[in-house]
Amino acid sequence: MFGLLRPQSNLCRSAIELSNMWKISYHGKEKPVAVSASWNEQYEDLFLEEGPLEYIYDIDVPMSWKNKRLRFYFGAVNTKSKVYLNDELIGSNDIGYLPFECDPAGAIKYGSANSLRVEVENKLSKDGLPSGRMPGFEEGGNFPPANFDFFPYGGIIRMPYVEISSNASILDLNFRCDGSIPSKKLGIVDVKVEVTDECIGKDIEVSIGDLKSTKKITSAKEDFHFEIKNASFWELDDPYLYDLKAKIMSVGDLVDEYKLKVGIRTITLDDKHILLNGKPVKLLGFGKHEEFPVEGQGTFKPLIIKDYDLLKWIGANSFRTSHYPYSEEWLDMADELGFLVIDEAPHVGLEKYHYENPETVKLCVDDIRRLIDRDKNHPSVIMWSVANEPDSAHPKSDEFFKKLYDTAKDCDPTRPVTMVSCVPFCKKSGEQDVAMKHFDVISVNRYYGWYNHQGKIEEAEKLLSDDLDALRTYKRPVILTEFGADAISGFHANPAQMFSEEYQSEYIERLFKVADEKDFVTGIHVWAFADFKTAQNIHRPLFNYKGVFTRDRNPKMAAHTLRKLWRR
């Protein structure tokens, strides 16, 4: 499962998007359905559907694909899926938001039509991730019964591909540059290449920019080392990307290649700051969601462009992929445009039940491995977040989060690891976070002046200030990963009152300034970038309205306020 390179078309590979209309089959009906998108808003009677239901696609397989390496790759299917080719099971997956692939050997018919069928289930459960139907859900809480407030969309949400390449194939590339010395413009680069057994005895060439290295392949893993003098470092205002290429050659003929864009940069910490290339950087930006009307959680490319344009417009330099990994296109753009990303695993609302359930523990560990495996080569990804708002006051969270932290460090010792906590740190409150001590960066969500001390911004300022100061006991950099207030676009009030644009704007401005004055607060992210669809709940009139942009991406008053603060 690991070493899952994204399909690509190049001189040796063809990656074909399975992007025609699929058929969806449910309750005895068969209808056209679009991928990559959620099923929920494509048909009224699918809105609350949890499956299992079937996606069907007919694909002609030419004879020329015989004796090639073939793989069916799914960018993400929410949440559990089984993949059948000509009625033979060729793969299954239990985790949403992350890619998986299936080997069709044995099931495929060459020179013939083939039928691909994906059975998808999106039933929220205590054991699933993200989880739902927690004890007591029948009496209260969200409907659908999610243990989080975004809508639990289902379906083939990211693009499926079939990729055809040589059997002598590159399986994985792992690019590392953490030993680089920015002050001397020295890029120190290590590349690990993993290949299929058919490559052994052939030649491999790896190049970065103008530097090349070639060797005979003697094992399934080969290491390369480069020292780049006068290197162009990946910086926020100049996110320089190098071309990394790996090629497999047999008696002078190119049999496989894989290309990546990579950036040379270091991410380190001192006790107050995140350092990009040795210099402190302050994260300004948002927590957001990857969702939009009709497509639900899908990959709508114009939206990605639009959101980055708005992030630039407002003066943000970063965001968190709350509360799950986003599509790879999001990270490609962050690499290219110079944004810093906190990359989050799909672990939201974890609690005692999860810490005690060995199946969930295993799923969480797998998720982290798969997330890091997918995103390890992106310069924009500066930190892993292993969870959002777990019950980190519970004694069992201590050992559980130590395990997740160790897993992340084991997969990637080069990036800081965080967990996002909503447990108060002030000793006064009686509750105490017991898991945060394991993490490199302290990330906290705080809603003074919204969920408590409602309508009282002055009290909120004082409480936030004291709370942040209390975090200094960790002697580590702090990120205020969430604070915010709902505002319904067009609601106005003088003086400012909750749900008005004025309240959201004033609240964000004043609390931002409180956090901004503290030199150990290395990042401030507003919740949220845009309004988003939620499950039904007495606290959520269809949407969470904490966006500073509306769901269709128009600015509220707070967006203009932030633009003034951030582009100063």
Of residues 131, 121, 499, 543, the one with CA closest to residue 348? 131
CB of 345 to ligand GCB, least distance (A): 14
Identify whether 130 is preceded by a cis peptide bond (ω within 30 of 0).
yes
The C-alpha atoms of residue 107 and residue 90 are separated, in whole angstroms, by: 7
The b/e string for 50-88 (b: 16+ C-beta within 10 A; e otherwise) is bbebbbebeeebeeebeeebbbbbbbbbbbbbbbbbbee
Q: Which of 266/388 has CB closer to ligand GCB? A: 388
The C-alpha atoms of residue 567 and residue 313 are separated, in whole angstroms, by: 9
Which residue has 């753009």 as its token pair?
Answer: 333
Of residues 150, 145, 147, 121, the one with CA closest to residue 50? 121
Are 402 and 396 contacting, i.e. CB atoms less than 8 angstroms apart? no
Give strand pairing partners of 29: 26
Does residue 482 have an active-site annotation?
Answer: yes
Q: Which of 51/484 has CB closer to ligand GCB? A: 484
Q: Which of 164/348 has CB closer to ligand GCB? A: 348
- Which SS3 state, helix, strand or coil, does residue 525 take? strand
Distances (CA, A) of 486 to 33, 103, 483: 34, 47, 11
- Nearest-Å Rg of the Cα atoms of the chain is 24
Are 152 and 129 contacting, i.e. CB atoms less than 8 angstroms apart? no
DSSP 338-398: T-EEEEE-S-BS--HHHHH-HHHHHHHHHHHHHHHHHHTT-TTEEEEEEEES--TTSTHHH
Q: How many CB atoms lie within 10 A of CB 174?
A: 16
Q: Which of 6/453 has CB closer to ligand GCB? A: 453
Q: Which of 117/323 has CB closer to ligand GCB? A: 323
Instruction: Say which DSSP state 326 is in.
Output: P
Does residue 359 have an active-site annotation?
Answer: no
CA 37 to chain centre: 17
CB of 485 to ligand GCB, least distance (A): 9
Q: Which of 233/527 has CB closer to ligand GCB? A: 527
CB of 149 to ligand GCB, least distance (A): 4
What residues line the site for ligand GCB (CB under 6 A)? 148-149, 323, 388-389, 422, 445, 482, 527, 544, 546
CB of 166 to ligand GCB, least distance (A): 45
For residue 130, give both structure tokens: 């993200």
Are 272 and 303 contacting, i.e. CB atoms less than 8 angstroms apart? no
Q: Which of 49, 344, 351, 482 is catalytic?
A: 482
Q: Which of 222, 344, 389, 461 is catalytic?
A: 389
φ/ψ of 68, rounded to 5, equals -110, 165
CB of 161 to ligand GCB, least distance (A): 31
Of residues 436, 137, 104, 76, the one with CA closest to residue 290? 76
CB of 540 to ligand GCB, least distance (A): 9
CB of 388 to ligand GCB, least distance (A): 5
Total residue length of the chain: 568
CB of 489 to ligand GCB, least distance (A): 16
Strand 283-287 and strand 521-527: the pairing is parallel
Which residue has 């390496």 as its token pair?
Answer: 69
Q: Which of 78/445 has CB closer to ligand GCB? A: 445
Q: Which of 120/441 has CB closer to ligand GCB? A: 441
The C-alpha atoms of residue 217 and residue 482 are separated, in whole angstroms, by: 49
CB of 486 to ligand GCB, least distance (A): 7
Q: Which of 422/508 has CB closer to ligand GCB? A: 422
* Single-letter amino acid, residue 92: S
Active-site positions read 389, 482
